[in-house]
Structure 1
Amino acid sequence: MKKLKQIIAQVKTTDEASAGFNDLLWQLICYSPKMPVRLQQQQLLDEAEKFSLTAYDEHFTHTHLKFNGFKWGSGTHKIVITHGWGSKAADFAELINALSLIPDTTIIAFDVPGNGSSEGELSNGALFADAAKAVIGQYGTPDILIGHSLGGMANIMALNDNGAKPKLLISVTPLIRLKENFESSMAAAGVSAEPQAAYLKSFEELVGRAASSYDLEKLYQRGPEQQHFLLYDEADMISPYKFIRDFLSARPFIRNKNYTGAGHAGIIRSPEVIADIVAAISAILK
């Protein structure tokens, strides 16, 4: 978090017309803050079977980045968790502990490249999706696929690419529109409209697709045959409710529930949320 604060301070004090300002915006948008692991989280990681896989970083380093994964249990029912931006597998400690009480399960979580304990300085949606695909490729289609924030969008992108069909998809405050998230982050750092537009143009040139294409309204290819539980907080400012509302209104078959006040990051630790996720999974696996 200290480095992110330094980046924000530098963005705020640098002349927007300077040659290197757009490079600063890449740091602002693509540096994922890394928070230390708490004692309880480390104890959970110590109990896990460790593994490592790779995801190709086609936009920054042009190398295969190693990312770290963790597996608990050896049951026949696989549960895979994809964390969100600025997060890591260990942040799901409370949920993982609760899920481990469900009989006959294997729980798998991982740190996306550029996040947590994994390699990489910068990260993006492509690395999130490719890491999820690598885990599914290694361990097979999970019975349950859980994603938080950007991890929710990444899971959809991974399923689109590999055609996997989990029994239950769980999305917790999923990011709906990436472009608007970028704009919000830049505006919060005091960046004016013109350099925002310049950054979005450079994003499209580097990535080969516009930031606006990272939109669950466009990416979601599932119908009523896919059981899907979407959990959100209508007061969430990171994944605004107006976008989730529009997404859900076009897909009335998606079960959903509001947890006002849970918070974008805190929702994955909410006892009510954890209880509802465990109940939903137990009903599917019974």
Structure 2
Amino acid sequence: MKKFKTVFNQVKSLNGAEAPDMANLLWQLICYSPKMPVRLQQQHLLDEAKPFTLEVDDPHFAKSVLKFNGFVWGESSRKIMITHGWGSKAADFAELITALKNITDTQVIAFDAPGNGSSEGELSNLLLFAKAAEAVINTFGAPDIIIGHSLGAMANAIAVKETAIKPALLISIAPLINLKENFVASLNAADVAPAIQDKFFADFEHLFAMEASGFTMDRLYPSGAIKRHWLAYDEDDKTAPYKFLKDFLAVYPSIQTKAYDGRGHERIIKDEAVIADIVNLIA
């Protein structure tokens, strides 16, 4: 978190002006995932798991193979995969994982995406999240239930498409819907001038061979592969604005939704009511 704050303050101090290393600063501002240490309760949960390490290729930032770490609780053939959000890690689902472990005949699999938590990588992005989810699916088999929070929900959509699996239940918690708008919000918060933002997005398109505006949930969504989709949200979520979610849900009215007012974007995954509803859905 300290590094992210340093980069943010450095960009903001420019007051909209450009710096010699502006491109590098903006990539760090947008693609450096803040890291928080594991708390004692979380570490106890990780110690109970069977750890694993897998690899994904990062052709954009590291330009090499990155190792990422994961954790498995239980031995059942009924698998639950959890994909965390930006600036997060598997251990941040400690409360939910603890509750899921108590469901009879389940195996819970969670991982730290590249550039997050305990995994390798300096910068990260949605595609690395999705590649990690795909690697877990290809290694452990198709999950019956897939849970994703924030950017993890978008990554799950890509992974389901790429692996051609058909999970019985997809659970999305405060999903991001329009990734470019999140980028713009971060750039605006740091007072990056419009012309410099335009150059950043041109660089983005050159690097990823795709416009940032293409990373939206409605374009990524694997509608034919989802048997049942349940979605939790907070209408006042500032990170995942409801106006984008509302438009997405209008296109996919079969998605079941439930609002949890006042939970916020990060705390919603720890909320007792949210966890209880998820357990009831699965059990």
TM-score using structure 1 length: 0.97
Q: Is the 8 A contact 2:236 2:261 kept in 1?
A: yes
Counterparts of 1:195 and 1:29, CA distance in 2: 14
- Report the counterpart of residue 35 of structure 2 in structure 1: 34
- Report the counterpart of residue 5 of structure 2 in structure 1: 5
Counterparts of 1:19 and 1:144, CA distance in 2: 47
- Report the counterpart of residue 243 of structure 2 in structure 1: 242
Counterparts of 2:213 and 2:225, CA distance in 1: 25
Counterparts of 2:40 and 2:222, CA distance in 1: 40
Q: Is the 8 A contact 1:112 1:128 kept in 2?
A: yes
The gaps in structure 2 that reach 5 residues or longer are none
Counterparts of 2:242 and 2:177, CA distance in 1: 10
Q: Is the 8 A contact 2:69 2:118 kept in 1?
A: yes
Counterparts of 2:130 and 2:224, CA distance in 1: 20
Task: Give the partner amino acid of 1:7.
Answer: V
Counterparts of 2:154 and 2:17, CA distance in 1: 31
- Report the counterpart of residue 68 of structure 1 in structure 2: 69
Would the alpha carbon gap of residues 225 and 37 (structure 1) be closer, same or farther in structure 2, given more than 3 Å must change?
closer
1:1-286 → structure 2 map (5 Å cutoff): 1-14=1-14, 16-223=17-224, 226-282=227-283
**Percent same amino acid at aligned positions?**
57
Counterparts of 2:240 and 2:23, CA distance in 1: 25
Counterparts of 1:225 and 1:87, CA distance in 2: 25
Range that drifts further, 222-231 or 73-82 = 222-231
- RMSD of aligned alpha carbons: 1.1
Structure 1 stretches of 4+ with a deviation exceeding 6 A read: none
Cα displacement (A) at 1:18: 2.5
Cα displacement (A) at 1:225: 5.6
How many residue pairs match? The answer is 282
Q: Is the 8 A contact 2:30 2:186 kept in 1?
A: yes
Counterparts of 2:156 and 2:95, CA distance in 1: 21
Q: Is the 8 A contact 2:149 2:172 kept in 1?
A: yes
Cα displacement (A) at 1:253: 0.5
Counterparts of 1:16 and 1:136, CA distance in 2: 45
Q: Is the 8 A contact 1:224 1:253 kept in 2?
A: no
Give the 3-state SS of the residue equivalent to 2:223 in structure 1.
coil
Task: Give the partner amino acid of 1:275.
Answer: A
Task: Give the partner amino acid of 1:99.
Answer: L
Task: Tell me the alpha carbon deviations over residues 56-97 of structure 1, each in whole angstroms, 9 at most, x when there is no partner.
Answer: 111011111000000001112100000000000000000000
The gaps in structure 1 that reach 5 residues or longer are none
Counterparts of 2:10 and 2:59, CA distance in 1: 27
